[in-house]
Amino acid sequence: MLIKGKIKADKKTKELIQRLKPYDIAVIKHQDLDEVAALSLIKIKPKLIINCEQSISGKYPNLGPLHLVKANIPLLEISEQNFFDSVQDGDQILVKNNLVFFKGKVFEGCLLNEELITSKIKSAEQN
């Protein structure tokens, strides 16, 4: 995966959706990304979603991440707090596989796929 583009970021997904345009890269902080938020993001069709929280924490099974991946919208999790705090709307980034190149720094993430998401959902169901 190689994606280059402009960031739109917000801690509140519902507020980000108001500014997000097709082909932007969405940067969110949304633990347990819910189905409603995912479906709203799918309607806009961003190039990529970077979540700076766990999309599925294991507290409960949530289907938001699965909807995104099935809609062919890549979902990358980055746990490093410095990343979210350093981005602003309009910043350009380059994402290659699990690595995000931004302002001379490299941030490592985890690209979620259907198999990993399904496994996390099953673990959450046991909780």
Q: pTM of the entire structure?
A: 0.94
C-alpha–C-alpha distance, residues 11 and 124, integer Å: 24
- Give the pLDDT of residue 82: 87
Q: Are 102 and 91 in contact (CB under 8 A)?
A: yes
49 forms beta bridges with 26, 75
Residue 5, helix vs strand vs coil: strand
Phi/psi for 94 (5° steps) reads -125, 130
- pLDDT-derived band of residue 126, with 50, 70 and 90 as boundaries? confident
- Give the pLDDT of residue 39: 97
Residue 75, helix vs strand vs coil: strand
At 21-40, the pLDDT tens digits run 999 999 999 999 999 999 99
Q: How many CB atoms lie within 10 A of CB 86?
A: 14
